[in-house]
Amino acid sequence: MDVTMDHDYCTIPEPSSLDLAYAKIEELSNEVDELKKQLQELHVQRDFGLERFAGSDEDIRFYTRLPSYRHLTSFWWLIEPSIHKIIRVSRAKSAARKQEDCHHQRRKTWHSFHMHPSTVSRIIATWTNYLYTLLGSVCVWLSAADVKSNLPEEFSDFPDTQVIIDCTEIRCQTPSSPLLQSEMYSNYKSHCTMKGLIGIAPHGPVTFVSQLYAGSVSDREIFKQCGITKMLTEDMAVMVDKGFLISDCVKCKVYCPPFLSRGKQMPAHQVKETQAIARLRVHVERVIRTIKQNKLFDGVITLSHSVNINQLFSVACLLSNYQNKALVN
């Protein structure tokens, strides 16, 4: 019996079937892309550590301000023996943060670390307190003999210089209280600020850091109150800018550019002295500029950060001694 069967090898699916197939393919493609993105984020979370940046000194400088991975590991081995003494900041301790600041931060995502901002804040507070205690326990003030033994040739005309000082200001959030506003307002910055005094030895290291004062306090008053006068003896000299009128506040010599009397021309020897002091004072300005390159000081300090701003400022100053080479050889 001969049975003939027809086969339609050129059957074309209905247009509706093609649309469904394309839609399914597109859906699967989007799902694959999303899974790839999630996998990449997991890799970032897993690999965000020191080892990830070991081959890039540029990344190390960006994240830590230290010049190299080797430099960072050397600093770590200096502080590692006392890590077991660290006291972690708990959620209860960090709850003093302003409510509006909390609401504002909840809307943020900390992309670099994949952590909630409050978690990062607690980690920073923990390490700030630890480094403030650890680094602060090391006496950074140098004896006159140590300063002289490291005195750069550029200071040969000012051989008894013990410390070069200057004040710096950090912009902060305007308080709601009119009284606090008047105390914090700086005429120089035309903004509410906190002001601190920093001193460096002639060869570069930070040897004195004051606490922070309200922006309206004068440089002279900060100098009198911060405690540095107790460190200066008659055989020492301090180098300052012409805005520091402190000659009557200390027993030691003060190297300060002279003011030009009205209607009179400055004598040649005073011109040379002014230029020499200005060149040497650049060093303290450079150190302060380096300290303020820390991201925290880029913008306006919120009132919530003012709780431990003294510790943050001191740690930034003290860490500069480990981050940088000597300014002059």
Please report the DSSP string for 75-125 in residue order.
HHHHHGGGGGG--PPPHHHHTTS-HHHHHHHHT--BTTTTB-HHHHHHHHH
Fold of 140-323: Nucleotidyltransferase; domain 5 (3.30.420)
- The separation between the first and the last C-alpha atoms of the chain, rounded to the nearest angstrom, is 110
Instruction: Give the three-class secondary structure for 206.
Output: strand
Residue 214: alpha-carbon gap to chain centroid: 20
Q: What's the whole-number mean pLDDT along residues 29-33?
A: 84
Q: How confident is the model at residue 113, as a pLDDT?
A: 59
Asked whether the predicted pLDDT for residue 153 surpasses 60, the reply is yes
Which bin fits 229, alpha (ψ -120 to 50), beta or left (φ > 0)? alpha
The predicted model gives 10-23 an average pLDDT of 64
Please report, for the chain, the start and end positions of each structural domain, with discontinuous segments joined by +: 34-83, 86-138, 140-323
Arithmetic mean of pLDDT, 92-99? 49
Mean of pLDDT values over 35-44: 69
Comparing 2 with 41, which gets the higher pLDDT?
Answer: 41
Contacts of 192 by beta carbon, 8 Å cutoff, 6+ apart: 171, 172, 173, 174, 175, 181, 184, 185, 186, 215
Q: Between residues 148 and 104, which one has the greater pLDDT?
A: 148
What dihedral angle (degrees, nearest 10) is formed by the CA atoms of 204, 205, 208, 212? Answer: 90
291/277 Cα distance (integer angstroms): 22
Distance CA 106, CA 126 (A): 20
Eight-class DSSP state of 110: B
- Environment class of 240 (CB within 10 Å of its CB; exposed 0-12, middle 13-18, buried 19+): buried
Which pLDDT tens digit goes with each residue over 295-318?
Answer: 788 788 887 777 789 999 999 999
* Predicted confidence (pLDDT) at residue 248 exceeds the cutoff of 60: yes
Residue pair 244/258 in contact (Cβ under 8 Å)? The answer is no
Radius of gyration of the chain (CA): 30
Residues in the chain, total: 329
Q: Taking the model in full, what pTM does it have?
A: 0.74
Helix (H, G, I), strand (E, B), or coil: what is residue 200? strand
Residue 99: pLDDT above 50?
A: no
How far is the CA of 267 from the CAs of 73, 158, 257, 258, 260, in angstroms? 53, 19, 12, 10, 9
pLDDT of residue 26: 81
The whole-number pLDDT of residue 100 equals 42
Q: 121: closest CA among 153, 98, 152?
A: 98
